Amino acid sequence: MVLVRQELGDVLRDLRQERGCTLRQIAGRASVALGYLSEVERGQKEASSEILASVADALDVPISRIMREVGDRLAVLEEMAVSDDAALGRIPDTVPDELVASVGRTAARRGH
Amino acid sequence: MVLVRQELGDVLRDLRQERGCTLRQIAGRASVALGYLSEVERGQKEASSEILASVADALDVPISRIMREVGDRLAVLEEMAVSDDAALGRIPDTVPDELVASVGRTAARRGH
């Protein structure tokens, strides 16, 4: 089952790392516990809408961008799941390379 | 503050109504309590990723589509919040009419 919180966690971590920020910095700015943010990034905890808004603010990213990115990554995973190509380890040509790279990392970590 | 669960609830309700389904039907198919689904649709409860997956399945909609739609609606609300036009009750020309209609209903309900 494809879970939103896993993709959301990946997106939040990628955005944080793109900005060269530590967990501690973003947790501090967003006023959330460092351990909690870490669990959210690893897809182990659901983030409430209020916490998500705070973290987006701390990252200086609109929530809309985060949710669209989550949607885009879920779409790639869905396509991989239904495509016969997935069984052969190939990715459809219609999937942008950038997304393949980011989801590829996710899939690798999860042992796909 | 723009909250993801409110837009998510609106998207889930719109998708259900587009399909001519009752809350009871979708709650039954998704194996979630009717009262809970109702609260999720009204943006009063956060849906866990597992429940969201079940409801998406019951609606026969990929989760990716739901999250992209949530992202699109959040973008419209963000644009309304930052735009000077918002103060005058005008909506930027760059916003698709379909989105304006759906978010307009949301905004009206919330007294914007």
Kindly list the residues from chain A whose CB atom is less than 8 angstroms away from the CB atom of residue B65. Answer: 71, 75
Alpha-carbon gap, residue B95 to B112, rounded angstroms: 18
H helices of chain B, in order, are: 4-18, 23-30, 34-41, 49-59, 63-82, 84-87, 97-109
Please tell me the pTM assigned to this model: 0.78
Alpha-carbon gap, residue A9 to A94, rounded angstroms: 25
Domains parsed from chain A with CATH numbers: 4-60 (1.10.260.40), 66-109 (no CATH)
A4 to B74: CB separation less than 8 angstroms, yes or no: no
Does the pLDDT of residue A107 top 70, yes or no? no
Question: Which residues 36-95 of B have a C-beta within 8 angstroms of A?
Answer: 46, 48-50, 52-53, 62-72, 74-75, 77-78
Token pair, residue B7, equals: 């837009």
Distance from CA of B99 to the nearest CA of A (A): 14
pLDDT tens sequence across A61-103: 999 999 999 999 999 999 988 875 556 555 655 666 666 666 6
Question: What pLDDT is recorded for position B92?
Answer: 59
Question: What pLDDT is recorded for position A27?
Answer: 98
Alpha-carbon gap, residue A80 to A54, rounded angstroms: 32
To test the contact with chain A by mutation, choose from B4, B55, B73 the residue with the greatest count of A C-beta atoms within 10 A, namely B4
H helices of chain A, in order, are: 4-18, 23-30, 34-41, 49-59, 63-82, 84-87, 97-109
pLDDT tens sequence across B54-94: 999 999 999 999 999 999 999 999 998 887 555 655 565 66
Question: What pLDDT is recorded for position A82?
Answer: 81
